[in-house]
């Protein structure tokens, strides 16, 4: 059994395959938003049900954050990442072959479960295949390449759907996921240089650490505050934004997809920028508050004016929203400060888990709002929603952003407290 030769060609191949999966899961994440009417038509469902479908992804993604981290520590990433890609493929095919809505919901849940290993699996691959000095650089490059998947998952995929139809494109995406799973299973080494057994915590130690983090009210409230700000990314960019722009402003679907993808473009810039500002000012809570307030202002501006008539201006605003969406990097920095150093990774996982659950609640709420506003119009037995329905659903996003702004201001009162005093004694 061979070991990984650090910085060998195989190390780079491992990283590229892991990054390919991380980027590709963004395409799967965005896909339902591009074919919302088609999905609702095939399964004869309303907006609330579609909201549940969107929430199912985030339920699987959020719920698997901690388990995937544990699995990556206990088992070879070859098995975990390839299994995750295979899970995504199976979940994707549920849209094609399932005739029952509940099976499709479960399939979307599986896509979320598999996607949870995208970034975590790539981070683990870097950790075991490269020297410590390259970790930060490769993580930054991973983030950039991963978000490129979100950019290609917008307008390019939308154009493919127009050309070939949504079912054939979905079959191709499932096939790509199968190929990625096979490549990772075949080309990742069966053993690694990392002596994993020596660093694995016992079950009792793991439960004790988890109890310590979950018992820290500041970490829990930090996660809740962060979850209130996820609407622009997890709701607008991922699912509802394209349909909103098409139905309210009459923008063609490929262009609407491009506009919402600009949020991910902004995130390429926002991570380093907001992290730098937070490091220089040490005003972490205030930065998050400002991000929430500015994002709310942009969405209110888009909803209440004719600014969307200028697509370049709208793209610029969405790019700005993307920059502000990187408040999450600052949230994770706070989480690390609130936890003992040896539990910083677990604290980040718990915080991100709560963040992602915010997407579940928002998707359901937005679908419910649309159905409450429905005027009774049907087309081929499917509910047809007017522009006001979409606008009221999108209004949920700035409402939660304002609430998040307030919660972060409340949390700011402890911002000046030294980090060591914010941690419960173990």
Is residue 31 a part of any domain in this protein? yes
**Residue 211 CA to its chain's centroid (Å):** 25
Same domain, 251 and 389: yes
Per-residue pLDDT at 207 exceeds 90: no
Q: What is the mean pLDDT of the chain?
A: 85
Per-residue pLDDT at 342 exceeds 70: no
Same domain, 308 and 359: yes
Same domain, 308 and 405: yes
pLDDT, residue 2, reads 41
pLDDT, residue 136, reads 66
pLDDT, residue 195, reads 41
Give the C-alpha distances (Å, rounded to integers) separating 83 from 87, 190, 209, 258. Answer: 6, 14, 27, 31
In the three-class reduction of DSSP (H, G, I as helix; E, B as strand; rest coil), residue 98 is classed as coil
Rounded to a whole number of angstroms, the distance between the first and last alpha carbons of the chain is 40
Closest C-alpha to 79, from 24, 117, 115: 117
As a whole number of angstroms, the distance between CA 116 and CA 110 comes to 10
Residue whose pair of structure tokens reads 């399932």 in the numeric block: 98
* 286 exposure class (CB count in 10 Å sphere: 0-12, 13-18, 19+): middle
Same domain, 317 and 176: no
Is residue 394 a part of any domain in this protein? yes
Question: What is the extent of the structural domain holding 267?
Answer: 204-426
Same domain, 281 and 152: no
Chosen domain end from 132, 157, 190:
190
Chosen domain end from 131, 160, 190:
190
Same domain, 241 and 149: no
As a whole number of angstroms, the distance between CA 411 and CA 226 comes to 11
Give the C-alpha distances (Å, rounded to integers) separating 176 from 20, 156, 282. Answer: 10, 16, 43
Q: How many domains does the chain have?
A: 2
Is residue 290 a part of any domain in this protein? yes
In the three-class reduction of DSSP (H, G, I as helix; E, B as strand; rest coil), residue 383 is classed as strand
Is residue 197 a part of any domain in this protein? no
As a whole number of angstroms, the distance between CA 35 and CA 263 comes to 19
Question: CB–CB of 197/372 below 8 Å?
Answer: no
Same domain, 55 and 165: yes
Q: What is the pTM of this model?
A: 0.79
Same domain, 61 and 172: yes
What mean pLDDT comes out for the span 14-21?
Answer: 93
Is residue 118 a part of any domain in this protein? yes
In the three-class reduction of DSSP (H, G, I as helix; E, B as strand; rest coil), residue 426 is classed as coil
Question: CB–CB of 47/383 below 8 Å?
Answer: yes
* Domain harbouring 418, CATH code: 1.20.1250.20
Same domain, 282 and 323: yes
User: Model confidence over 271-300: pLDDT tens digits?
Assistant: 778 888 887 888 889 999 999 999 999 999
What mean pLDDT comes out for the span 113-142?
Answer: 82
Question: CB–CB of 212/424 below 8 Å?
Answer: yes
């Amino acid at each position: 059994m061979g070991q990984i030769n650090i910085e060998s060609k195989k190390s780079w191949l491992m990283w590229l395959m892991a990054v390919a999966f991380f980027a590709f899961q963004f395409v799967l994440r965005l896909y339902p938003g591009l074919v919302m009417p088609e999905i609702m038509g095939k399964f004869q469902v309303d907006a609330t049900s579609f909201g549940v479908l969107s929430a199912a992804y985030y339920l699987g993604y959020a719920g698997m954050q901690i388990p995937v981290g544990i699995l990556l520590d206990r088992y070879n990433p070859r098995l975990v990442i390839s299994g995750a890609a295979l899970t995504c493929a199976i979940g994707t095919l549920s849209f094609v072959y399932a005739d029952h809505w509940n099976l499709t919901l479960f399939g979307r849940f599986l896509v979320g479960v598999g996607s949870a290993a995208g970034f975590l699996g790539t981070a683990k691959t870097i950790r075991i295949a490269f020297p410590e000095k390259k970790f930060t650089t490769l993580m930054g490059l991973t983030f950039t390449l991963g978000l490129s998947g979100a950019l290609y998952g917008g307008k390019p995929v939308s154009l493919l759907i127009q050309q070939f139809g949504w079912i054939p494109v979905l079959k191709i995406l499932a096939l790509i996921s199968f190929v990625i799973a096979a490549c990772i299973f075949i080309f990742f080494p069966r053993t690694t240089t990392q002596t994993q057994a020596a660093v694995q915590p016992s079950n009792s130690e793991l439960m004790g650490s988890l109890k310590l983090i979950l018992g820290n009210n500041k970490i829990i409230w930090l996660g809740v505050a962060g979850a209130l700000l996820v609407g622009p990314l997890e709701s607008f960019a991922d699912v509802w934004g394209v349909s909103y722009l098409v139905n309210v402003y009459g923008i063609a679907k490929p262009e609407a997809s491009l506009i919402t993808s600009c949020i991910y473009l902004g995130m390429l810039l926002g991570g380093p920028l907001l992290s730098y500002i937070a490091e220089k000012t040490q005003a972490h809570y205030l930065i998050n508050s400002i991000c929430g307030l500015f994002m709310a202002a942009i969405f209110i501006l888009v909803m209440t004016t004719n600014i969307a008539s200028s697509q370049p201006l709208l793209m610029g605003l969405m790019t700005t929203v993307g920059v502000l969406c990187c408040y999450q990097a600052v949230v994770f920095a706070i989480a690390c400060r609130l936890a003992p150093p040896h539990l910083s990774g677990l604290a980040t996982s718990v915080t991100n888990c709560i963040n992602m659950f915010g997407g579940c609640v928002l998707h359901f709420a937005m679908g419910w709002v649309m159905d409450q506003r429905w005027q009774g119009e049907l087309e081929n037995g499917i509910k047809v929603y007017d522009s006001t329905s979409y606008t009221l659903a999108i209004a949920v996003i700035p409402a939660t952003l304002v609430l998040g702004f307030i919660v972060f201001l409340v949390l700011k009162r402890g911002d000046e407290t030294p980090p060591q005093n914010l941690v419960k004694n173990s």
